[in-house]
Amino acid sequence: MNDKQIAIKSENLVKKFGNFVANDHLTFEVAQGEIFGFLGANGAGKTTAIKILCGISKPTSGNIRVAGFDVYTENEKIKKNIGYMSQRFSLYEELSIWENLRFYGGIYGLSAKTIRERSEAVLKRLGLEDQRNAHVRSLPLGWKQKLAFSVAILHRPGIVFLDEPTGGVDPITRRQFWDLIYEAAADGITVFVTTHYMDEAEYCQRVSIMVDGRIVALDKPTALKNTYSCKSMEEVFLKLAR
């Protein structure tokens, strides 16, 4: 770990809403280029943490740096270096695929030429070349999510945050989605992904498991299975969450 660059570093991240502690002293590091799984049941506090790391929510306390920048003072700098795909669907339904790509490329300040080139590449990669003018509304959910992911990394960020990216999608499409994630990681993009599908946890290089706002385990999936002597991540999770 030490010889690699650190993409995300969180020390004692705390977030309180009134008396409710959503994130309780989260401490972890994510290395550059790593696929990091952020697991937990619904309501465990994953989305809260991800919003803090993305700079759209303020932490209550803790020492947190993302892409080398401090989340308290340099959150606008962080935003230049990250991509984000939210749990809720984030594309404009009434715009076409092409218009969505152009819009998001535009607000990240890419040049018109870059937008055109990269959008073409995305359409080609997803096999959507013929449907570039189709309204996003008319696409099946799985396509929408693959497109949303491609939009999130259109500006080639160092880190991409994915909040439940495969919610409600069939197993085949999920598999295809993970292929996209591997490709991004191969290009050197750090992937920070939350999920509650435990089979997906196996695809991650390292995972943390959150229960009631606290991280209760953090290691490689194989190591966790050994520690808790389980056959699958599913079992590990059930053991810890109980």
Partner 1 sequence: MRTILYILQKEFIQIFRDKFMPRIIFGMPIMQLIVLSFAATFEIKNTDIIFVDDSHSIESAHLISKFEGSAWYTVKATVRNYNEAADMLRKNQAHQILIIPRDFSEDIARGNKASLQIVTDAVDGSAAALRNGYAQAIISGYQKDIIVQKTGLDHFKQPIETSTLFWFNPELNYQTFMVPGILVLLISMMGMFLAGMNIVKEKEIGTIEQINVSPIKKSQFIIGKLLPFWLIAMFELAFGLVLAKLIFNIPMLGSVGLLFLVAGVYMVLILAIGLIISTVSDTQQQAMFIAWFFMVIFILLSGLFTPVESMPEWAQRINYLNPIAWFIKIIRLLMLKGAGFAEIKQIFFILLVYGSLMMTIAVKRYKKRV
Residues 27/47, Cβ–Cβ less than 8 Å: no
Give bridge partners of residue 9 from the DSSP assignment.
Answer: 29, 65
Helix, coil or strand: residue 227: helix
Q: Which stretch binds partner 1 (CB under 8 A): 79-87, 118-126, 167-175, 233-241?
A: 79-87
Q: State the Cα angle at 71 between 4 and 88, rounded to 5°.
A: 95
Question: Which region among 89-97, 167-175, 180-188, 192-200 touches partner 1 (by CB under 8 A)?
Answer: 89-97
Please report which helix (H) or strand (E) contains residue 208, including its range: strand 206-211
Instruction: Verify binding: residue 158, partner 1, rule CB under 8 A.
Output: no
Which one of 11, 43, 58, 187 is in contact with partner 1 (CB under 8 A)? 58
Q: Kindly state whether residue 92 participates in binding partner 1, applying the rule CB under 8 A.
A: yes
Q: Is 45 in the site for partner 1 (CB under 8 A)?
A: no
Which of 5, 43, 56, 226 touches partner 1 by CB under 8 A?
56
Nearest to partner 1 of 65, 206 (CB atom): 65
Can residue 55 be called a binding residue for partner 1 (CB under 8 A)?
A: yes
Sheet holding 69-70, edge to edge: 20-31, 6-17, 61-66, 69-70
222: closest CA among 209, 242, 207? 207
Confirm or reject binding of residue 99 to partner 1 (CB under 8 A): yes
Between CA 240 and CA 210 the distance in angstroms is: 9
Q: How far apart are CA 233 and CA 132, in angstroms?
A: 39
- Binding residue (CB under 8 A) for partner 1 from 43, 106, 127, 171: 106
Q: From the list 46, 102, 118, 146, which residue makes contact with partner 1 (rule: CB under 8 A)?
A: 102
Q: Shortest approach of partner 1 to residue 54 CB, angstroms? A: 5
The reply on whether position 84 binds partner 1 by CB under 8 A is yes
Write out the two tokens for 69.
């920048």
The residue among 191, 156, 201 whose CA lies nearest residue 40 is 201
Burial 226-242 (b: 16+ CB within 10 A, else e): eeeebeebeebbeebee
Among 4, 61, 80, 223, interactor with partner 1 by CB under 8 A = 80
Tell me if 110 sits within 8 A of 155, measured CB to CB.
Answer: yes
Closer to partner 1 by Cβ: residue 169 or 218: 169
114 binds partner 1 (CB under 8 A): no
Q: Does residue 95 bind partner 1 (CB under 8 A)?
A: yes
Give yes or no for a contact between 157 and 83, defined as CB atoms under 8 angstroms apart. yes
Interface with partner 1 by CB under 8 A: which range of 4-12, 19-27, 82-90, 197-205? Answer: 82-90
197 binds partner 1 (CB under 8 A): no
Question: What is the binding site for partner 1 (CB under 8 A)?
Answer: 51, 54-58, 75-77, 79-80, 82, 84, 86, 88-95, 99, 102-109
